[in-house]
């Protein structure tokens, strides 16, 4: 019966699908959260669109106890860790983050044993297991601010060497070792791609995410998180921008600033994992309450500590 409804709706077209999602959401009193890198249709159907920090905070403070997190797996896990009594679903359980998978918990455990004095600072793009071995988490929105305030002398920053190098460049007095991880999507963007666009659009400003490589960051007018880029574009007097982050951000940028022009720095800036989520997948997981994020109590308890520490400092 359930399957029939779902197939009927898929056949019925996108408007009917959206209507059914909104109806189900109301019936089940569910909260739909979407990351800025999701497809426009998912962003438009969500109750709230944001970066991983904002999504985690809303998930925890909202009264609804059924959450559908449209993003990648670590975002669903973060929502579950901060709201352990809520049911957290994701439209696609195999939407992972290749950068998060570049840290193996056993390797990190060995590193900690060999370097007991280093504070472990993890980008939120990590698995729940890696968070259990972490002293404090950061996101791209608060990394500089938190690292600046952190006491202690020696740090390991993981997994993103690009964000890590950017942090190092802003506080050279700190001893920060970097894990050799990176985002496959942002890493694909080359400095030459940006230079070509700059030549063709001389009045455009370059807005870059710190997951981009140093060649790209070196020519950026502004470096910041998705939220930072959105705020910068909104408040800027400039009218044209070259955007060096994942393609999904073009939707809120254009919606917020109908009179400004945004050029994606490369058509290759598409995260295949973020794009595994579809309206159909969202509908099915809401209807059948499948794809639940399940974590054991001990993992939740240990992984919550570095997240709580981050929230207290941001």
Residue 185 engages ligand SF4 in binding (rule: CB under 6 A): yes
Query: Which of 55, 146, 156, 183 contacts ligand SF4 by CB under 6 A?
Result: 183
The residue range among 61-69, 178-186, 198-206, 300-308 that interacts with ligand SF4, by the rule CB under 6 A, is 178-186
Cα–Cα dist 196/216, whole Å: 12
- In the complex, least distance from residue 63 CB atom to ligand SF4, rounded to whole angstroms: 28
Q: Which helix (H) or strand (E) holds 154?
A: strand 154-158
Residue 226 touches which of ligand CIZ, ligand SF4, none (Cβ within 5-8 Å per kind): ligand CIZ
- Does position 20 interact with ligand CIZ (CB under 6 A)? The reply is no
Whole-angstrom distance between the N-terminal and C-terminal Cα of the chain?
Answer: 47
Residue in 273, 277, 278, 291 binding ligand SF4, rule: CB under 6 A: 273
Nearer to ligand SF4, 9 or 46 (CB): 46
Work out the angle at residue 225's Cα, subtended by the Cα atoms of residues 221 and 231, and round it to the nearest 5 degrees. 70
Q: Which stretch binds ligand SF4 (CB under 6 A): 39-47, 60-68, 94-102, 133-141?
A: 94-102
User: Could you say whether residue 184 binds ligand SF4 (CB under 6 A)?
Assistant: yes
| CA-closest candidate to residue 90, choices 269, 304, 278 | 278
Instruction: Give all strands of the β-sheet with 261-264 in edge-to-edge order.
Output: 222-223, 205-208, 240-244, 261-264
Q: Which residues contact 30 (CB under 8 A, 6 or more apart)?
A: 24, 64, 66, 67, 68, 286
Torsion of CA 81, 83, 87, 89, to 10 degrees: -50
User: Which of ligand CIZ, ligand SF4, none does residue 282 bind (CB under 5 to 8 Å by kind)?
Assistant: none
Quick one: three-class SS letters along 97-139?
CCCHHHCCHHHHHHHHHHCCCCEEEEECCCCHHHHCCCCEEEC
Q: Which is nearer to ligand SF4, 25 or 186 (CB)?
A: 186
3-state secondary structure of 234: helix
The reply on whether position 274 binds ligand SF4 by CB under 6 A is yes
Q: Which residues in the 209-248 window bind ligand SF4 by CB under 6 A?
A: 246
Shortest distance in whole angstroms from residue 254 CB to ligand CIZ? 18
Q: Are 192 and 226 in contact (CB under 8 A)?
A: no
Out of 38, 52, 92, 291, name the contact with ligand CIZ by CB under 6 A.
52
284 binds, among ligand CIZ, ligand SF4, none (CB under 5 to 8 A by kind): none
Q: Are 112 and 22 in contact (CB under 8 A)?
A: no
72 binds ligand SF4 (CB under 6 A): yes
Q: Are 86 and 66 in contact, with CB atoms under 8 Å apart?
A: yes
139 binds, among ligand CIZ, ligand SF4, none (CB under 5 to 8 A by kind): ligand CIZ
Residue range at the interface with ligand SF4 (CB under 6 A); choices 102-110, 128-136, 266-274, 296-304: 266-274
Spatial separation of the C-alpha atoms in residues 13 and 15, rounded to whole Å? 6
125 in contact with ligand SF4 (CB under 6 A): yes
Query: Interaction with ligand CIZ in 194-253: which residues (CB under 6 A)?
Result: 209, 225-227
The site for ligand CIZ (CB under 6 A) is made up of: 35, 51-52, 124-125, 139-140, 209, 225-227
């Amino acid at each position: 019966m359930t399957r029939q409804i779902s197939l009927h709706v898929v056949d019925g077209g996108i408007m009917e699908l959206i209507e059914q999602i909104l109806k189900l959401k109301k019936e089940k009193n569910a909260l739909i959260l979407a990351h800025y890198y999701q497809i426009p249709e998912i962003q438009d159907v969500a109750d709230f669109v944001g970066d991983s920090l904002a999504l985690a905070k809303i998930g925890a403070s909202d009264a609804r106890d059924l959450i559908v997190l449209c993003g990648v797996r670590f975002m669903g896990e973060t929502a579950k860790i901060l709201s352990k009594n809520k049911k957290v679903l994701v439209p696609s359980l195999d939407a992972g983050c290749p950068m998060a998978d570049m840290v193996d918990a056993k390797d990190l455990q060995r590193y900690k044993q060999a370097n007991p004095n280093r504070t472990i600072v993890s980008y939120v793009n990590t698995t729940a297991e890696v968070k259990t071995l972490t002293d404090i988490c950061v996101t791209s929105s608060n990394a500089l601010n938190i690292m600046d305030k952190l006491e202690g002398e020696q740090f390991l920053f993981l997994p993103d060497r690009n964000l890590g190098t950017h942090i190092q460049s802003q506080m050279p007095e700190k001893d920060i070792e970097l894990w050799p991880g990176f985002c496959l999507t942002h890493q694909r963007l080359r400095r030459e791609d940006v230079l070509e666009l700059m030549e063709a659009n001389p009045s455009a400003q370059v807005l870059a995410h710190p997951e981009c490589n140093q060649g790209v960051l070196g020519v950026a007018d502004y470096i910041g998180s998705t939220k930072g880029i959105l705020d910068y574009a909104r408040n800027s007097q400039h009218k044209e921008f070259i955007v060096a982050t994942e393609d999904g951000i073009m939707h809120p940028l254009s919606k917020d600033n109908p009179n400004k022009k945004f050029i994606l720095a490369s058509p290759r800036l598409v995260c295949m994992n973020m794009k595994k989520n579809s309206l159909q997948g969202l509908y099915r997981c809401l209807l059948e309450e499948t794809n639940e994020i399940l974590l054991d109590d001990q993992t939740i308890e240990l992984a919550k500590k570095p997240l709580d520490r981050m929230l207290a400092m941001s």
